[in-house]
Structure 1
């Protein structure tokens, strides 16, 4: 049995590429027996996929959208890829990737998860934000008879809605434990809420009419930045405790207003050193001017874990053992993780002359 290592990629064979909508596909990857323990995952986690083009490396993260396996690990993994304008990897996945091809894949990561347990849970998702939540809800309802789930999803049109059949099957299979509310922003529908965006104001009115907001044990928000932040504001305004709200943001191209580090932030020292522990081995290296701590580590340890480098996926999360850093932006770590001492290495810059990170903790 192969042991999982931070930043290690494994070649997996593509078992199937199936169209979901005009601009998205589901990719099924076959997991050989010797790697099943490596790819064991919790519902809601994602995979980093890697492709080399013209000598350069492209990495993208995609959520696992199938039911989580048992203790033996998965025989297959399924992810959904939606076409992004100018997206090199998504264009490749939709236009070229075929059954029999090989894709390099990192072990599952991410903390937007729900271990099956009794309770009442709910999600607000937009577009491809359905992918991790589909894994969460399908696993939860199959494994925990005392669990209920309310899914509130927003899509542009019916034709653009991913996993229509899979969600409809959940509704048929668990009619007493699964509640579905579908909204469309660019198309009228005969039943359900009126068309339009799910912003904070609308959700503040809508949510109490759908679920007993205060009785929900966990809220899962996933999708574009605006939808997730709007849903968070609505829930907080309705009295939901912060520790019951879990978020994962997709496709943040640029930092929204207020997300960038303020101009008054503490400047970096003239000389600084980062010490990092990764897979049981440590090292210390000087940080070059303007580098993030991840970039410094990567110059010396090519196996350092990362995927998006944009503060979104959380693959580069590390524990700050000592020293101080500033993060340019953070869309991956929840407040509890920040309070516990975790940082995103891809967004972190040294504030003190010495900084120590632990990627293994």
Structure 2
């Protein structure tokens, strides 16, 4: 459900990014209380069409909720262009309550993150909250940016390091800018990360790894951790952007059907406790079928990245085109992405509430 929230601040971070803070009314404070790492969906109308985009909450999770998100401009991005050029204090934006499973509820332990570009946004909330609430916790943050000037939340991460010098290990790498000190310039590929990470942390003793950013960096970090013997259950990932040219992972949906979708199928869905059954049109995704009858079905990116449209497949088979949001344990439990799932059996039943 969307709630209209007033913009309290719009702060430039870099030439192409801003931090937007919303005022949360007292009556909605519990609704908008977030777990570190969660995201919200923002909505507006542009040229007569509804535009939804998902952005991570960057503020620490505290008793007095502060809803602050980081937004980076993307090429031809309708919402990000609006946020950078037009959004102003006093404007109202429709916002959903925080959601998402790329989270770390504060607890003792040793944690690490590899992030690239705007992938710092949720990890900033994770690290700040963890170090603030758990005196015995430690965090290693490896971040990759094109240049120092393009790095979002550069001052915030530096301040965090100053506040917790013995418990936060902060490593900054740049891919397109030479530096006189620090790590050599260049991309963090799998080979480089395989060599770098053991020099920074006792890899086997890290309780949780958080990978966030562009598809290439996340996959490189995942490959490096696999090479270093890290168990998959300790690795959590969130991909912020996937180029259209990037092929989707292999079959990943429970009950994945044949390559071709069923010509005629019925989709049954439960949403907010109410169910319905509708015929699917040729080529439609499960989400598209449901949206024709239930405009309140949750979604944001429609690209298989954000996970907002996650549903549990209760019956039937689907073909899921792309999956950059669901982790293996979710797939094993029967979850699929409604925006990427096409009926591959005459009847498909999903649950948005599961």
| Alignment TM-score, normalising by the size of structure 1 | 0.94
TM superposition shift of 1:255? 5.1
Could you tell me which of 89, 102, 117 is aligned with 1:99?
Answer: 89
Q: Distance in 1 between matches of 2:14 and 2:250?
A: 35
Q: Distance in 1 between matches of 2:60 and 2:27?
A: 20
Q: Deviations over 1:88-111 (max 9, x none)?
A: 111111111110001111111111
TM superposition shift of 1:323? 1.2
Give the match for residue 17 of structure 1: 10
SS of the residue corresponding to residue 300 of structure 1 reads coil
Q: Distance in 2 between matches of 1:60 and 1:318?
A: 19
Q: Deviations over 1:106-130 (max 9, x none)?
A: 1111111001111100000001000
Could you tell me which of 264, 277, 281 is aligned with 1:288?
Answer: 281
- Are positions 1:189 and 2:182 aligned together? no
Give the match for residue 141 of structure 1: 131
SS of the residue corresponding to residue 313 of structure 1 reads coil
TM superposition shift of 1:267? 2.3
Give the match for residue 51 of structure 1: 44
Matches within 5 A, 1:259-278: 259=249, 265-278=258-271
Contact 1:255 1:329 in 2 (8 A): no
Q: Distance in 2 between matches of 1:258 and 1:318?
A: 19
TM superposition shift of 1:258? 5.1
Contact 2:258 2:344 in 1 (8 A): no
Matches within 5 A, 1:221-232: 221-232=211-222
TM superposition shift of 1:254? 1.1
Q: Distance in 2 between matches of 1:185 and 1:271?
A: 49
Give the match for residue 28 of structure 2: 35
TM superposition shift of 1:268? 2.1
TM superposition shift of 1:266? 3.6
Give the match for residue 295 of structure 2: 302
Q: Deviations over 1:18-77 (max 9, x none)?
A: 11011111000001111112111110011110110121011111100000133xx62x31
Give the match for residue 246 of structure 2: 256
Could you tell me which of 311, 314, 326 is aligned with 1:321?
Answer: 314
- Are positions 1:356 and 2:349 aligned together? yes
Cα distance change, pair 258–18 in 1 and its aligned pair in 2 (3 A): closer
Give the match for residue 191 of structure 2: 201
Coordinate RMSD, CA, aligned = 1.4
TM superposition shift of 1:137? 0.4
TM superposition shift of 1:261? 6.7
TM superposition shift of 1:191? 2.4
SS of the residue corresponding to residue 301 of structure 2 reads coil
Give the match for residue 169 of structure 2: 179
Structure 2: 5+ residue stretches without partners: none
SS of the residue corresponding to residue 288 of structure 2 reads helix
Give the match for residue 326 of structure 2: 333
TM superposition shift of 1:83? 1.1
Cα distance change, pair 199–287 in 1 and its aligned pair in 2 (3 A): same
Q: Distance in 2 between matches of 1:284 and 1:69?
A: 42
Structure 1: 5+ residue stretches without partners: 1-7
Q: Distance in 2 between matches of 1:128 and 1:268?
A: 36
Structure 1 segments of 4 or more deviating over 6 A? none
Q: Distance in 1 between matches of 2:292 and 2:301?
A: 17
Give the match for residue 153 of structure 2: 163
Count of matched residue pairs: 350
Q: Distance in 1 between matches of 2:343 and 2:248?
A: 21
TM superposition shift of 1:257? 3.1
Q: Distance in 1 between matches of 2:337 and 2:263?
A: 22
Contact 2:248 2:321 in 1 (8 A): no
